[in-house]
Amino acid sequence: MKIEIGIERPACFQPAYPEEFDLFSHLELAAAIPQVLFAVTTWKENGKPNVCFHSWSCFHGDRTAFFAVLGNLYQHTHTYVNIKRTRGFAVNFLPVHYYDALIETIRQNELDADEFSAGGFTLENARTISAPIIQESFLTLECSLKSVEDLSGAGITAMVVGQVRHCWIDADLSPESRCGKAGYMLLMPGAQNLSTGEPNPSIIASLTIEKRD
């Protein structure tokens, strides 16, 4: 049996917190598609470093270029404003044991806050763009702003596309190790119980190797 969910939120769907359905589509919580978690870093207008713990994105390109596509960046955030002003941002991938530190950068995200200090991260300067980068990351992508598009037209979120100009890769971490707890951190949004409508907590996960192709 399959349950069908349309563009109208089912009446039984309950939010995990009061503003959940103001922030997210009920279809996202019904689908609960895992995505990689990472930190977007930029400079605030006052010179303080900014950290945005983010997901909802993809990374791809062709033989001419490689792109970071931030698919759901809120337009009211420091990060969105910073990217439009500086025309650049860095994407920093950290393993799951940094989760609590990254959450701390959400708790301390005022304009005057040094969010690197809030998370206990070591700041380095990007090589090709105007942005700070996290030294503890096992992979960092330096991106210049390519385009911005409001997909829904509602002025809430934007799809921000950056062209990758430079990579920092930890040579001590093998490709296989990036699939373990020292590698990529994944978010599975809190999957709604499709029968009762009850919410579930989000899942934070790491990858395991099941097969080689």
Grouped pLDDT means (10 residues each) for the chain, 213 residues: 94 94 92 96 98 96 97 96 98 98 97 98 98 98 98 96 98 91 95 94 95 90
User: What span, in angstroms and rounded, lies between the C-alpha atoms of 62 and 198?
Assistant: 42
Which one, of 99, 51, 55, lies nearest residue 78 by Cα? Answer: 51
What is the pTM for the complete model shown? 0.94
Q: Judge whether 50 and 78 are in contact, CB under 8 Å.
A: yes
pLDDT of residue 175: 86
Predicted local distance difference test score (pLDDT) of residue 4: 95
Is residue 11 packed enough to be buried (19+ CB in 10 Å), middle (13-18) or exposed (0-12)? exposed
Residue whose entry in the numeric block shows the structure tokens 């103001």: 22
Distance between CA 64 and CA 169 in Å, rounded? 20
- pLDDT confidence of residue 66: 98
Longest pairwise C-alpha distance within the chain: 55
